[in-house]
Amino acid sequence: MEGKDQLEKARERVIEAIAQNMHLYGVTPSIGRLYGMMFFHDQPLTLDEMKEELGMSKTSMSTSVRTLLDLKMVDKVWKKGSRKDLYAVEGDWYQNFIDLFSIKWRNAISMNKHAIEKSLRELSELKNDENMDDELMALITNDMDKLKSTLEYYDWLNRLVDMFESEEIFNFVPKNK
């Protein structure tokens, strides 16, 4: 029994570390615990099995699994003879990171570029006002230069995300030393 206790202690240490670092993925520690628990299961689990193991409500468990599905950290799997939905951890941590990085950064890039482009259009229209004083014109021009520079950054970031999604990044930073 001592060996089993040590195994559980070692697993729990990893699960807790995952749970505490899930904020990097924008999710709660309880979702991290779910992911960590699922990581150590070799077979897909139902919501009921997860609920029983973690002591969470079925609603909370369902929401947590949906979050992990959206982040592509777990997959819904099919098993012959089972009528319940089954879920398993996506075991490729490199792919997990790529998916998460891509999802989060594509959303941020899109939101920020949209705001910048809208502001640039508005500032451009404002700049055409013939009654504009020189001080305000200088501020508008300075802001527009900053925003255009920022768009260049987001174009670079898009290319970086492309490198992750195409796995070209591994040509520069190999998976193994």
Range of the domain at 33: 2-89
Whether residues 144 and 168 share a domain: the answer is yes
pLDDT band at 162 (very low <50, low <70, confident <90, very high): very high
- The reply to whether 20 and 79 lie within a common domain is yes
**End-to-end Cα separation, the chain, in angstroms:** 38
Whether the pLDDT of residue 6 is over 90: the answer is yes
Asked whether the beta carbons of 129 and 137 are under 8 A apart, the reply is: no
Residue 111 neighbours by CB distance under 10 Å: 10
Q: Are 40 and 8 in contact (CB under 8 A)?
A: no
Backbone angle region of 119, left / alpha / beta, with phi > 0 → left and psi within -120 to 50 → alpha: alpha
Average pLDDT over residues 37-51: 92
Q: Indicate the residue among 89, 111, 140 that finishes a domain.
A: 89
What's the average model confidence in pLDDT over 121-138? 91
Mean pLDDT of the chain: 92
Q: Can you tell me the mean pLDDT for 164-168?
A: 96
- What would you report as the CA-atom Rg of the chain, rounded to the nearest whole angstrom? 24
Residue type, position 124, single letter: S
- Domain end residue (candidates: 55, 89, 123): 89
Q: List, for residues 95-109, the tens digit of each pLDDT value.
A: 988 988 898 899 999
Residue 46, domain CATH: 1.10.10.10
- Can you read off the two tokens belonging to residue 36? 């960590």
Q: Tell whether 177 is covered by a domain.
A: no
Provide the H-helix boundaries in the chain: 2-21, 29-39, 47-54, 58-70, 93-127, 134-166, 169-172
Shared-domain flag, residues 101 and 64 = no
Give the separation between CA 89 and CA 79, rounded to whole angstroms. 15
- 69-89: pLDDT as tens digits: 998 899 999 877 778 899 999
Same structural domain, 120 and 44: no
